[in-house]
Amino acid sequence: MKYLITGISGFVGGHYLEYILSKGSGACVLGIDTERPKFDFLNSSKCKRIKFHKGSLMDKARVKNLIKKARPDFIINLASYSSVARSWRDPAECFVNNTNIFLNLLEAVREAGIKTKILSVGSSEEYGVVDRENIPLTEKSPLNPANPYAVARVAQEEISKVYAAGYGTPLICTRSFNHIGPRQRDIFVVSSFAKQVMEGKLKRRRKIICGNLEIVRDFIDVRDVVRAYDLLLQKGKIGQIYNVCSGQGHKLSEILDMLQKKAGTDIPTEVNRDLMRPVDSPVIIGSYAKLRKDTGFKLKHTIAGSLCDMLEYWKAQIR
Amino acid sequence: MKYLITGISGFVGGHYLEYILSKGSGACVLGIDTERPKFDFLNSSKCKRIKFHKGSLMDKARVKNLIKKARPDFIINLASYSSVARSWRDPAECFVNNTNIFLNLLEAVREAGIKTKILSVGSSEEYGVVDRENIPLTEKSPLNPANPYAVARVAQEEISKVYAAGYGTPLICTRSFNHIGPRQRDIFVVSSFAKQVMEGKLKRRRKIICGNLEIVRDFIDVRDVVRAYDLLLQKGKIGQIYNVCSGQGHKLSEILDMLQKKAGTDIPTEVNRDLMRPVDSPVIIGSYAKLRKDTGFKLKHTIAGSLCDMLEYWKAQIR
């Protein structure tokens, strides 16, 4: 089996690669990214099965050439401008880049005439501002994308449906909920909390800066996410959309309390209004019943375990 | 009042310009298109109020410069890759061009810091394959875009909603149904029928080539369309979506019969399978109740009158 992972140098890319290697299936991986990965997979003993290609997926000709040569069995499209805040600052850029990258991949596969299975990774952001009566969100819940990033993700999903129906491209779509786990950047809320708690414990800060602690979100460990993705590529139904989530909601204040308890700290918090979003759903929780039913997926990580791993990660980073 | 009409050299653009001039309101019009218009407005006595700019809206810097200088009160975005058939042949191109053009316009207005009202012209194609129980289609009917062109139009609408909500851009969206009227190109079904009937009457052909004659569509005269657009810019509610349609359905066979009767012909038909679409809705009829309620819009053209005008147009063209 040959995987092409776009955006391999990112948080999810690294964990996906680790997962593939841990399976010991002998699969080959071609990773593409605009930046070299920080993790050291190229020097691992398994390096013969892994190739890295530095380049932009915006370059149509390059993508065509790459896919024509590699003829991957699976493509996991993790390359994305995934920051909502950034998408408000540069909406056109965010939208165009996300959709262009995806279209370049689809067109390259279509023109190569190969039957590559493609995982179109979407986002719970597609659901937008959610009414409590729609919780838990299922794949049939209405979509109300409320920022440019979310609109790009909805467009990607609609494009996927049209390619699946019109050209028979074997696509599977996800709506992936908030990720957590070690190595996540601190622009994401839980990783920022874990880092700040650890900095406080190591006497590097006195206050934890936070936004709205009252919102409830569905956090899923990145290692469960990549397992779900791999199961979807093996057993997911072509042309279908799947929530990838934990099915459990946690208030941000509760997450912060758990982190402080685990770290043995009691650092005071300070709200920074700049971290509040103008429009935000009070509660977002998904249902992964469809994923479980079609692939047999089960969660392996608990929120407590994920938070411990994140604290450990930041401890090592700070020292 | 100053209008910027993109795609002014097209079918709808020409009729919109005629309508503005006929109102005698003294409004100025800046038209932009990649091709010079065929109609001779630049030599009309009203030419001082009309400017034409030849150029592509894909050129971001050019669009910014143009809008910064012109500071239009209204933008009507008629520039589009509007052929469904073409969107299947080159899906990426269709999608990217439609959304890029639109985003370039929105960003130019946002950066200029002006309060230009923008008409985002969408399509009944957004509804996709429609169940009979959803007829007539209202703005609340579900969207199921079934081709790349339709996906681009849905994305444009979602982008509009996000800009209206997030940046306060004064946008109004339409879902415009099948247009008819003089000067329409013969790649569109009714204009093709009118041309073929007239060619038959003038002994230039013996058969009318057609696709599926059983489908029912909602045809609206382009002159009613442009009046609806102008009313929407004056009275439409910001951030809202409006069907622009006639509310009446006609079978294609019925349209062809009406054309033959008016022309006094009885030309035999021949089905060309290439003109059949793989996926098509048997019936598409919209409701324009919302447009009527918010703007007072009333239809002025009957289907019979439109067909007569189209026959006259082709008669003049063929001779």
Dump pLDDT digits (tens) for A143-202: 999 999 999 999 999 999 999 998 999 999 999 999 999 999 999 999 999 999 999 999
Q: The domain that contains B57 carries what CATH number? A: 3.40.50.720
Q: Domain check: are B174 and B272 in the same one?
A: no
Of A100, A148, A158, the CB nearest to B151: A158
Nearest CA in chain B to A104: B92
Residue-number span of the structural domain to which B61 is assigned: 2-180+219-247+285-299
A127 touches chain B (CB under 8 A): no
Determine how many CB atoms are found less than 10 A away from the CB of residue B146: 24
**Per-residue confidence of chain A (319 residues) as pLDDT tens digits?**
999 999 999 999 999 999 998 888 889 999 999 998 876 665 665 567 889 999 999 999 999 999 999 999 999 999 988 788 888 888 888 888 899 999 999 999 999 999 999 999 999 999 999 988 999 999 999 999 999 999 999 999 999 999 999 899 999 999 999 999 999 999 999 999 999 999 999 999 999 999 999 999 999 999 999 999 999 999 999 999 999 999 999 999 999 999 999 999 999 999 998 877 766 789 999 999 999 999 999 999 999 999 999 999 999 999 8
> Strands, E, within chain B: which ranges?
2-6, 28-33, 50-54, 74-77, 117-123, 171-176, 178-180, 208-210, 216-217, 219-221, 241-244, 250-251, 269-271
Looking only at Cα atoms, what is the longest distance across chain A?
59
Q: Domain check: are A27 and A54 in the same one?
A: yes
Quote the tokens at residue A242: 């799947």
| Residue B91 pLDDT exceeds 70 | yes
A173 touches chain B (CB under 8 A): no
What pLDDT score does B151 carry?
93
Looking only at Cα atoms, what is the longest distance across chain B?
59
Contact B99, A93 (CB under 8 A): no
Using alpha carbons only, what angle is made at residue A227 by residues A222 and A231, rounded to the nearest 5 degrees?
A: 145
Structural domain total, chain B = 2
Dump pLDDT digits (tens) for B267-278: 999 999 887 776
Cα B227 to Cα B124, B235, B297: the distances in Å are: 18, 12, 8
d(C-alpha A124, C-alpha A249), whole Å: 13
Q: Domain check: are B6 and B118 in the same one?
A: yes
Q: Do B103 and A88 touch (CB under 8 A)?
A: no
Q: Domain check: are A32 and A64 in the same one?
A: yes
Of A100, A151, A166, the CB nearest to B162: A151
Of B100, B166, B278, the CB nearest to A96: B100
Q: Domain check: are B138 and B225 in the same one?
A: yes
Q: The domain that contains A200 carries what CATH number? A: 3.90.25.10
Q: Domain check: are A210 and A275 in the same one?
A: yes
Q: Domain check: are A54 and A17 in the same one?
A: yes
Q: Domain check: are A174 and A275 in the same one?
A: no
A239 touches chain B (CB under 8 A): no
Q: Domain check: are A116 and A106 in the same one?
A: yes
Q: Domain check: are B131 and B193 in the same one?
A: no
Quote the tokens at residue A116: 């590559």
* pTM for the full predicted model: 0.89
Q: Do B99 and A96 touch (CB under 8 A)?
A: yes
Q: Domain check: are B81 and B172 in the same one?
A: yes
Q: Domain check: are A232 and A314 in the same one?
A: no
